[in-house]
Amino acid sequence: MPVRILENERLRVTIADAGAELVSVYDKARQAERIWTGDPAVWNRHAPILFPFVGKVVDGKYRVGNREYAMKTQHGFARDREFTCLEATADRAAHRLESDDATRAIYPYEFRLTVRHRLDADHPGRLRVEWTVENPGDGPMRFAIGGHPGFLLPPEVRKEDCRLLFPGAETLRYIGTSAAGYALPAVKALPLENGGARYREDIPETWIFEDGQVKRVGIETPDGRPFVMLDCEQFPMLAVWANPKGPFICLEPWFGRTDDEGFTGTIDQKKGMVDLEPGGRKEIAYAIDFL
C-alpha cells in the first residue's frame, strides 16, 4: 500500500493513497501511536473520508428524481477507492479522486475531490485536513462529506473513564441511531459539567449533534489532561462513535448524515447535504490538535 510520510519535531504522520486515509500519527512527545490501528477484528479503518454520503441510505437504495440508485456500503465509496497523489513533501500531501464510469453507475454526478493533509508550521502538534469538492459537470450535484478519525487511547485508559470536551458549550442536544444505523427521531439533552460530559456507552450507537452546536470537541483522559482536540467550526454536524471492543473514540465532523429511520424521500430531501452548481467548488477544513 503506497503511503506518504509527513514529519516534524512532534509528529510523524502517514497518509495512504488508498482512500487518502490518515492511517497513523506517531506522537514523539508521548512516544505513542495516536490513531486507531485498524484491527480488522474490531474496526478495520483508521480515519476514513466519508463521501459522497455519510452513513447509510435506507435499504441500500436512494433516488435522484425518479431514478433509483444502489449504494450498498455506508459512508459512500471514496474510502474504498485509490486516490492519485498530487503532492508529497515533508509537511504536506495532496490526493485526488475524480468521477469515472464506476462512480457514475452508483452516483450520477461529475465530481473532483481533493484531499490535503498538512502539518501546521506554527503548531507542531496540529494536523490540518482540507477538502475541496468541485463540480465539473453541466448540472447541479448534491453530496455529503465527513471525517471519521479514530483516536487511540493510552493503554491504561478505558473509554468509560474519559470525558468528552465541548469548549464554550453550556447545553447540547443530540439524536442517536438505531442498531441498523439509521437516525432516530428523539432529540435528547446531554448534560454538561464544566464544558464536558463523561463518555457513555449506554447512548445508542452514534451520538449526532446537529445545527452547528459543536465548534470544538476533544477527549480528556482520567488524569484531567486534554488528550486531543478537534476544531470543526465549519461543520453543521458532529458525531461521536466508538466500537465497544476497541480502545478508541471517533470524533466525526460531518456535512450530511445517515438517513432517518424509514426515510423514503429523494436525495434532495436528505438532511445536511451540500448543493454545488456547475463549475462550483466547496472548500472545507478541520484541524486536529494532539495534546
DSSP labels for 100-112?
Answer: -HHHHTTS-S--E
pLDDT at 159 > cutoff 60:
yes
Domain membership of residue 37 as a residue range: 3-290
Q: What is the pLDDT of residue 197?
A: 93
With cut-offs at 50, 70 and 90, classify the pLDDT of residue 202. Answer: low
Q: What is the pLDDT of residue 200?
A: 79
Least Cα distance to 135 among 27, 279, 282, 254 occurs for 279
User: How many whole angstroms separate alpha carbon 215 and alpha carbon 238?
Assistant: 9
CATH at 72: 2.70.98.10
Residue 204, all three cell numbers: 445508542
pLDDT at 92 > cutoff 90:
yes
Q: What is the pLDDT of residue 204?
A: 57
pLDDT at 263 > cutoff 60:
yes
Q: What is the pLDDT of residue 63?
A: 95
Q: What is the mean pLDDT of the chain?
A: 95
For 7, counting Cβ atoms within 10 Å of its Cβ (0-12 exposed, 13-18 middle, 19+ buried), the class is middle
Q: How many structural domains compose the chain?
A: 1
- Once rounded to an integer, what is the mean pLDDT over residues 213-238? 97
Question: Which residue in the block uniquely carries the three cell numbers 452508483?
Answer: 106
